[in-house]
Amino acid sequence: MTSLDPQTSPLDLWLDEIQSRTFRFFWDGAHPQSGLPFDKCFVSGAPSPNIISVSGVGFGVLAIIVATQRGWISRREALERLARMLEHLARSPRFHGAFAHFLDGTTADAMHFSKKDNGGDLVETTFLMQGLICARQYFSGGTEEEEALCYRINRLLETVEWNWYTRGVDDGPLYWHWSPNYNWIMNLPIRGWNEALSTYVLAAGSQTFPISADSYHKGWARSGEMRNGANYLGTLLPLGEPYGGPLFLGQYSFCALDPRGLSDAYCDDYLAQGVAHARINHDYCMTVPEYRATGVWGLTASEGPRGYGAFSPINDKGVIAPTAALSSLPFLPAEAEAAMRAILGYGRGKLYGRFGFIDSFKPKTGWMAPTYLAIDQGPIIAMIENFRSGLLWKLFMSAPEVRRGLSRLGFTSTTHGISPADA
């Protein structure tokens, strides 16, 4: 355990402690052969299911970058682990370049997420590529090992057939899934506003299989219908569903994509979008007696007593996930810090274990999740780092495919000097 005090120890010391402890999920808790992080680990220490989530791998790559920068592992250790992970990924089947949602940790075989979801998952693939792009930008020192790493990453990037996932309609949306057995039967278009903004940025910026800008404007933005513009609990929400939805919708892409100074035809300020989303979630939670009494807040997709669920102000089942508030540090720093300290002190520290915070808990009943989840642990590390140094934001926004994609889609980034492509 730690000697830090939840209430009095300085924030920076706690952020070091939380990031480094959470990193161990992706390092010590990873698959012993492949080095890929498991989709989940049990708090009890029981063996993890032999399942790898592809998005969890992407968040794990971001965690390795942060750990290298912070000096918790050496650059050589990071390169060795990443090389092993990429070797395993290269053996995995791809579906027009996209990975499946789940992989077998030992064989790299694709695993069914559901009976008819047994092929490519474009959004899971996006979060993997998001992490790998940051790794390529970070490990660019010109050594033989780093050049080999960059080559492998580029090969995976180049083979993603983003435009295949438009189903042949240039001005239509991207689709989430494709199966070699069931074709497009899942029939789930990727429409905004949600966590998949980076999918369209990478698809538009692809050198090999780009989508058209119309796919973004008519498919993702729905010709402007993704705008919200309503007031919730005193806060104007620019985009998205009523009350903003689960907080992960506004966090996963922004683990790498920098919202500061970012705008397009549908949102004048993506940082303001993130702030509004977090503010509404916080302010709603402070109307709930059991949350207010303990000082905790944060509704997102997480484990619940009856399984995984997407919790939000309009689907509140009493489940608080530490990742929700911690990953809001760049948007709502004072409130996120207050939640962090409250969660650390809850039950004399029983929510904080070997891999950081357990996935979720219910203040009203005392229920606690039995697991850590990769897709919840990863954003904690990434968003804390972006709050502290902006490291991952700088790396991702320096990548040529990211800059090209944003420009082609009409984005402006005053922070990174990106302007819309000429008409």
Predicted confidence (pLDDT) per residue in 372-415, tens digit: 999 999 999 999 999 999 999 999 999 999 999 999 999 999 99
Largest CA distance in the chain: 59
What does the pLDDT read at residue 422?
61
Report the C-alpha gap between 249 and 270 in whole angstroms: 13
For the segment 185-205, the average pLDDT, to the nearest whole number, is: 97
For the segment 361-379, the average pLDDT, to the nearest whole number, is: 98
Report the C-alpha gap between 285 and 315 in whole angstroms: 12
291's tokens: 């949350």
**Domain range list for the chain:** 11-413
**How many Cβ atoms from other residues are within 10 Å of residue 367's Cβ?**
15
Report the C-alpha gap between 122 and 161 in whole angstroms: 10
Alpha helices (runs of H) in 249-345, residue ranges in sequence order: 270-285, 289-294, 322-326, 333-345
- Statement: residue 150 has pLDDT above 50: yes
Residue 69, SS3? Answer: helix
- The β-bridge partners of 301 are 310
For the entire predicted model, the pTM comes to 0.97
What does the pLDDT read at residue 401?
98
- The β-bridge partners of 276 are none
**How many Cβ atoms from other residues are within 10 Å of residue 223's Cβ?**
10
What does the pLDDT read at residue 423?
41
- The answer to whether 134 and 62 are in contact (CB under 8 A) is yes
Give the closest residue to 332 by CA, choosing from 415, 257, 276: 276
Report the C-alpha gap between 326 and 78 in whole angstroms: 25
- Statement: residue 142 has pLDDT above 90: no
Structural class in CATH, domain 11-413: mainly alpha
Report the C-alpha gap between 300 and 323 in whole angstroms: 8
Collect all residues with Cβ–Cβ distance below 8 Å to 14 and sequence separation of at least 6.
4, 340, 341, 344
Identify residue 311 by its one-letter amino acid code: F
Q: pLDDT by residue (tens digit) across 235-284? A: 999 999 999 999 999 999 999 999 999 999 999 999 999 999 999 999 99
Q: pLDDT by residue (tens digit) across 5-27? A: 999 999 999 999 999 999 999 99
